[in-house]
Amino acid sequence: MKAEISVKLARCKGCGICAAFCPKSVLAIDELGKVVVAKPEECIGCGQCELRCPDYAIFVDKVAEKGGAA
């Protein structure tokens, strides 16, 4: 299962908790101190970033992979 991460930058205070708890290092903090999805293809959809964000700035949506068995 793939996942898409969306970020509401207006809510992000740049605490870095999401990036610290991401097991695949998908998230990073940019030079402006905001979270960025640095490696979206690595996301496993665990949701740790969404669960731990104190500002409700990150959302993980699971997406069915194309070409899967029917």
pLDDT grade for 67, boundaries at 50, 70 and 90: low
Query: CATH top-level class for 2-63?
Result: alpha beta
Q: What are the domain boundaries of the chain? A: 2-63
Q: Is the pTM of this model over 0.85?
A: no
| pLDDT higher than threshold 70 for residue 68 | no
Output the CA torsion 3→9→11→15 (10° steps). Answer: 80
pLDDT tens digits along 32-57: 999 999 999 999 999 999 999 999 99
